[in-house]
Structure 1
Amino acid sequence: MNLELSPRQQRMIDLAAELAARFAPRVDADDRAGRFPSENYAELHQSGYLRLIIPAELGGAGASLYETVLIQERLAQGDGATAMAVNMTMHLIGRQRETRAWPAAIFEAICRDIADHGALINGAASEPELGSPSRGGMPATTAAPADGGWLVSGRKQFVSMAPVLRYFVTSVALPASAEWPQGASANAIVRAPADGLRLEDTWGDALGLRTSGSYDVFYDQVFVPDAWLVDRHAPGQAPAAGPPTASAWFALTMAAVYLGIGQAAIDAVCRYAHERVPSALGRPIATLPAIQRRVGEGQAPLGAARAALYTTAHDWAARPELREGMLPRIALAKYLCTNAAVAATDQALRIAGGFGLTRTLPLERLHRDARAGLTHPPNDDAALEQIGRAALEQWR
């Protein structure tokens, strides 16, 4: 897209492109080994990338949702797994910056830790019994009252960047009390390292995003000070940082990551098509109309999805008066981007033929990574229901 970028935005994208170029040469070897690339996160800090999302008054650039979408798509073109994982920090800090739902002292301490030391933060919500927290339900992980705070016990899964996380925002169930007769839910911000906190690598041989460090996390009476138990609310109530802000920051930045993965596949197969010169043809296969059509079939949905994503993210940042009614647009952008990535990587494999199934090209990895986008909320069925309800409402 021919975007009108400010000098600030261009510098942000240039930084993302520089990091993508650094990460890309090692991602295939890491993927084969199921190795977590800790050095990537050190470089994200050293380069100043992590500071982009931090409020200006706390040592960062205060990147808007639109700017975060721009840079996350570009970063993902080099290493989708790293971009997806670090996006957990980017979206969480971005939405907290807008909502200020956490106590000011807690938010400031975390932001300064990120800006000064490269600390990373992620939510820990999914559980074996609960499934996706986006579907509702109370966590099995509990927080029991203790002197000065709480003792957290339980298990979480799919916690990306777990090996280098400083803060685990852990969803917990609270016991019944005078204030909460039916019990309550909250997020316990666990600071690593901590006694009773244990990580288990259950992800290194996953289908996609093998280097994201999406481990299982075990809590055995991990102490959390009372001030660090945030987002307390009764069962069935939404916390203060609920939709649409939480949905916008998570869904749109994740959509950008998978859009970048899909674009990387088309870029890779275009390079291959120019280099592949079969002896029977005597010229690059890029000159064949059939190849051009297939590239078009992969690029077209990416272009349409990008337009929906960028306009939605831009409107969120530039026109806050529209935000309350934007959930269907957010769902649409996420649906289009993740499905476009899957379609693009599929077309890339079709173009490359047998070579696409080998490790000589990155296409099989990109195809696997793109599939993961379908698992992030809103899932396709929930997104389509939301889009459909909005369309039906217009005709009530």
Structure 2
Amino acid sequence: MIDPLRLNQGNQRLAGWLETAAALAKGFAARAAQHDHDRSFPLENFAELHAAGFHLLSIPTEYGGWGATLHEAVQVVEQLAQGDGPTALVYDMHVHVLGALAESRPWPEEHFAAVCAELVERGGWINSCATEPELGSPSRGGLPKTRAVWDGDGWRITGQKSFTSGSPILTHMLIPAVIEDGTAGTVGVFLVRADRPGLRIEDTWDVMGMRTTASNDLLLENVPVAHADLVLRRVPDAPDPGRFSGGAWFGLTVSGVYLGIAEAARDEAIRFAQERRPTALNGQAIATLPPIQQLTGALEAELLTARALLYAVTSGWTEQPAQRPSLSPYVGLCKAIATSHAVKAADLALRVVGGQSMSRALPLERLFRDVRAGLFHPPTEEFAYTNLGKTLLEV
């Protein structure tokens, strides 16, 4: 079946990345059910991603990476998610953090160059660990409870972070903490390496969907950090230099992840409909039934409309940098549409298959659980629609 959104794809490097991603996804899919059952982290998937060089995807070319644009990165994570959503989501944390930093360059350049060099030369994975049990999502505002204190030689960080996706493999973490230096409300972002003393992971991730992301709690107990690893300092009411890029790279790439999961559900539903031949149909597949055809068409409509919007906004973001502030409300819309349509598409896939979709013998029940997690990433649907409405109403 053709993909109407990629008919004019002239990007040869992206085509090569997608071909490799599709091959990797097949291996991920073969292991996904067992990892989900065991609640085990898919270490082998990340070894394969690293061996294929995919840790370099959004690192700038001048620092030894592949320099993927946002438009390209969205399609790569979408392809990987068709094999295993949790793997793609953890991978995306690394991709969107580095992509946003490469685009906005909010750090001193020598610090960004240094961390890129570490990741290129030694390998490794990075994530931003901002959410806290009491703070909730940092997208809602508020100050972290995590604190950083200067001890004369460096910083000491104490606090707790939640949703630390990919915790078994992270080598670098970005930790927001309130700086206790007498200036109220100043938040620093610290680059913390995973081998620092006082840093530990607590196995708290036991959930319905995305069971294998190992999004555990991160505990920091007087963790020593060098002065140079304070990579960003935000004072109250000052503009955030990485705001637009950070929101876009997160919201749009995570949209690709959840659409990829729903596409896997679509493919499984189609396979089942073509192969299922109940005796009542005298050897004909259920794919010949008009109700099955209608459900399948409705499923694809959900995916195509969401993907069309996503690709349009990521293409505009990539090709028209001056328009990025104006595109910001549409980033939230993309995320809301992508995740809600992905959930609807997965639900329709279950309806195509019927009662057997609930069996663990098929991947659909796992895909349905995984895809629902997309609804809870920021921005939520109500926030995205309100923000777009305020923009249109100029209020």
How far apart are residue 341 of structure 1 and its match? Answer: 0.7
Which residue number in structure 2 is paired with residue 145 of structure 1? 150
When normalised by structure 1's length, the TM-score is 0.96
Which residue number in structure 1 is paired with residue 324 of structure 2? 323
Which residue number in structure 1 is paired with residue 50 of structure 2? 45
Q: Does the 8 Å contact 1:42/1:118 carry over to 2?
A: no
Which residue number in structure 1 is paired with residue 359 of structure 2? 358
How far apart are residue 117 of structure 1 and its match? Answer: 2.7
For residues 374 and 249 of structure 1, what CA distance do their matches in structure 2 show?
17
How far apart are residue 152 of structure 1 and its match? Answer: 0.6
Q: Does the 8 Å contact 2:149/2:181 carry over to 1?
A: no
For residues 255 and 33 of structure 2, what CA distance do their matches in structure 1 show?
22
For residues 261 and 232 of structure 1, what CA distance do their matches in structure 2 show?
37
Q: Which secondary structure state, in structure 2, belongs to the residue aligned with residue 101 of structure 1?
A: coil
For residues 50 and 337 of structure 2, what CA distance do their matches in structure 1 show?
31
1:198 to 192, 197, 200: 200
Q: Which secondary structure state, in structure 2, belongs to the residue aligned with residue 218 of structure 1?
A: strand
For residues 124 and 280 of structure 2, what CA distance do their matches in structure 1 show?
55
CA distances 1:146-201 after superposition (whole Å, capped 9, x unpaired)? 23321110110001011110111111011143xx3x24111111101111111011
Which residue number in structure 2 is paired with residue 223 of structure 1? 224
How far apart are residue 236 of structure 1 and its match? Answer: 4.1
CA distances 1:228-273 after superposition (whole Å, capped 9, x unpaired)? 112211234443211x211111100000111101111111110111
1:28 to 5, 30, 33: 33
Which residue number in structure 1 is paired with residue 269 of structure 2? 269
For residues 139 and 386 of structure 2, what CA distance do their matches in structure 1 show?
14
How far apart are residue 127 of structure 1 and its match? Answer: 0.9
Q: Does the 8 Å contact 1:265/1:348 carry over to 2?
A: yes
Q: Which amino acid aligns with 1:253?
A: T
Q: Does the 8 Å contact 1:345/1:370 carry over to 2?
A: yes
Q: 1:155 aligned to 2:160?
A: yes
Counterpart mapping for 1:181-330 below 5 A: 182-203=184-205, 205-242=206-243, 244-281=244-281, 282-330=283-331
Which residue number in structure 2 is paired with residue 112 of structure 1? 117
CA distances 1:39-88 after superposition (whole Å, capped 9, x unpaired)? 11111111011112111111111000001011111111111101011111
How far apart are residue 297 of structure 1 and its match? Answer: 1.7
For residues 327 and 190 of structure 1, what CA distance do their matches in structure 2 show?
29
Which residue number in structure 2 is paired with residue 14 of structure 1? 19
Q: Does the 8 Å contact 2:111/2:231 carry over to 1?
A: no
How far apart are residue 363 of structure 1 and its match? Answer: 0.6
Which residue number in structure 2 is paired with residue 129 of structure 1? 134
Q: Does the 8 Å contact 2:143/2:185 carry over to 1?
A: no
For residues 105 and 363 of structure 1, what CA distance do their matches in structure 2 show?
47
Q: Which amino acid aligns with 2:334?
A: A
How far apart are residue 8 of structure 1 and its match? Answer: 1.1
Which residue number in structure 2 is paired with residue 174 of structure 1? 179
Q: Does the 8 Å contact 2:179/2:186 carry over to 1?
A: yes
How far apart are residue 3 of structure 1 and its match? Answer: 3.7
Q: Does the 8 Å contact 2:187/2:234 carry over to 1?
A: yes
> Structure 2, unaligned stretches of length 5 or more?
none
Q: Does the 8 Å contact 1:276/1:284 carry over to 2?
A: yes
Q: Which amino acid aligns with 2:150?
A: P
For residues 31 and 117 of structure 1, what CA distance do their matches in structure 2 show?
30
Query: Which stretch of the first structure deviates more once superposed, 206-215 or 233-242?
Result: 233-242
Q: Which amino acid aligns with 2:349?
A: A
For residues 136 and 84 of structure 1, what CA distance do their matches in structure 2 show?
24
How far apart are residue 24 of structure 1 and its match? Answer: 0.9
For residues 314 and 53 of structure 2, what CA distance do their matches in structure 1 show?
23
Query: Which stretch of the first structure deviates more once superposed, 78-87 or 111-120?
Result: 111-120
Counterpart mapping for 1:95-110 below 5 A: 95-110=100-115
Query: Which stretch of the first structure deviates more once superposed, 45-54 or 153-162?
Result: 45-54
How far apart are residue 142 of structure 1 and its match? Answer: 0.6
CA distances 1:321-364 after superposition (whole Å, capped 9, x unpaired)? 21110012111111111011100111111121211111111111
Give the 3 Å change call, closer, same or farther, for CA 386–3 of structure 1 in structure 2: farther
The percentage of aligned residue pairs carrying the same residue is 44
Query: Which stretch of the first structure deviates more once superposed, 110-119 or 244-253?
Result: 110-119
How far apart are residue 115 of structure 1 and its match? Answer: 2.0
For residues 67 and 191 of structure 1, what CA distance do their matches in structure 2 show?
28
Q: Which secondary structure state, in structure 1, belongs to the residue aligned with residue 189 of structure 2?
A: strand
For residues 109 and 366 of structure 2, what CA distance do their matches in structure 1 show?
42
For residues 241 and 57 of structure 2, what CA distance do their matches in structure 1 show?
24
Q: Which amino acid aligns with 1:344?
A: A
For residues 74 and 96 of structure 2, what CA distance do their matches in structure 1 show?
10
Q: Which secondary structure state, in structure 2, belongs to the residue aligned with residue 21 of structure 1?
A: helix
Counterpart mapping for 1:374-389 below 5 A: 374-389=375-390
When normalised by structure 2's length, the TM-score is 0.96
Q: Which amino acid aligns with 2:188?
A: A
Q: Which secondary structure state, in structure 2, belongs to the residue aligned with residue 367 of structure 1?
A: helix
How far apart are residue 97 of structure 1 and its match? Answer: 0.4
